[in-house]
Structure 1
Amino acid sequence: MARSPQQPGTTRQRLLDAAETLARRLGPGNLSLDAVAAEAGVSKGGLLYHFPSKAKLLEALVSYHLQRLDDALRAQEATGRPNAAICAYLDQFMQECARQRPPASGLLAALAENPQLLEPVRAQERDFLDRIRADAGDADFATIAFLVVHALRAMKLLGTDVLDDDEIAKVIAWVRNELRTREV
């Protein structure tokens, strides 16, 4: 049975979607609870029911992002194909590149405001790497592929990116081709 828009799960989801939209547009450091509530069509009291502070909203947003990535990896892992996890990780990265990203300074500001947001990311990324290695035809090359994604993300985050979108696509295509040659 579908939930009505008034039920907590859908309100929470609308708030997370609105926060993600605004974080991409304005950067997480410039995100305000009032703006999220307005974007989601929810009263500020309704937002505060689900997320009593901006820190809790940002924490939930990080968790939401990690859960979607985890779901995508698990779906591919379930196929049983060699290198499914690292290929899913690469796919998610390319989808992330295709979407509008928050300015690097906004993300850095959010992390400076709440550095504890990095701990769940660190733990989940370690889990992703362990699963990627376990599923890989060549665990060492899968680790390199994982690190390529992290290097490209770091360049975007720090505003030091020297590759354009076509060059990034070529690097990822090369990594994919190498993965295919290393399948068991």
Structure 2
Amino acid sequence: MTHNHVSRHQTDTRTRLLEAAEALSRRLGPGNLSLDAVAAEAGVSKGGLLYHFPSKAKLLEALVAHHLSRLDAALRAEEATGRPNAAITAYMDQFLLECARQKPPASGLLAALAENPQLLEPVRAQESDFLARIRADATDPDFATVAFLVVHAMRAMKMLGTEVLDDAEAQAIIGWLNRKLQDGGG
């Protein structure tokens, strides 16, 4: 077996484990995430899981990093287009994708943060970076900031199960924000 094949296999297994952890936290709730359940969900032995994540804390840390890296990749891809408001548009689009994917709404991120509040710091740092990038390429940085905060409010409500908007209403608000951004902001 070549080194590349081993690395790719290990990366695939790691990704499968993270996706299994996310799926389980959505299905069972954030408090019921166990290493045994994640291994079973991913079709990996517990030893295989422990090879990648030697503790539940390490799994949760990786789950947070996985969530943030997906969001970062989506923003970078859109930013590379050079279009005005690309970062905030990608940020809102990713929120809508999360909404479509997460039924019920409890996310792997919530499970990780509930288990280990210290993981909030990398989330805070990454979100600060996202906001700086959003403001930097916005035609109206203040309006883009408001759009960012709207997404955060809707995401928090969804994670906590306190939504006041259904999915169609949330999509309509995001659509309205996008139209306002195209028109130059608020």
Aligned residue in 2 for 1:52: 54
Distance 2:83 2:127 in 1: 21
**Which residue of the other structure, out of 162, 171, 175, is the alignment partner of 2:164?**
162
Q: Which runs of 5+ in 1 are unaligned?
A: none
Identical-pair percentage: 75
- Pairing of 1:5-154 with structure 2 (within 5 A): 7-101=9-103, 104=106, 110-154=112-156
* Cα deviation 1:44-64 (Å, max 9, x = unaligned): 011011101111101101100
Instruction: Note the C-alpha offset of 1:109.
Output: 6.0
Counterpart contact for 1:5–1:11, Cα < 8 Å: no
* Count of matched residue positions in the alignment of Structure 1 and Structure 2: 183
Counterpart contact for 2:21–2:108, Cα < 8 Å: no
* Distance 1:38-1:5 versus aligned 2 partners, 3 A rule: farther
TM-score, reference length from structure 1: 0.91
* Distance 1:61-1:108 versus aligned 2 partners, 3 A rule: closer
Instruction: Note the C-alpha offset of 1:104.
Output: 4.6
Amino acid at match of 1:91: D
* Distance 1:19-1:112 versus aligned 2 partners, 3 A rule: closer
Amino acid at match of 2:27: R
TM-score, reference length from structure 2: 0.90
Q: 1:19 is paired with a residue of what secondary structure? A: helix
Q: Which runs of 5+ in 2 are unaligned?
A: none
Amino acid at match of 1:98: A
Amino acid at match of 1:158: L
* Distance 1:29-1:66 versus aligned 2 partners, 3 A rule: same
Instruction: Note the C-alpha offset of 1:135.
Output: 0.6
* Distance 1:68-1:112 versus aligned 2 partners, 3 A rule: closer
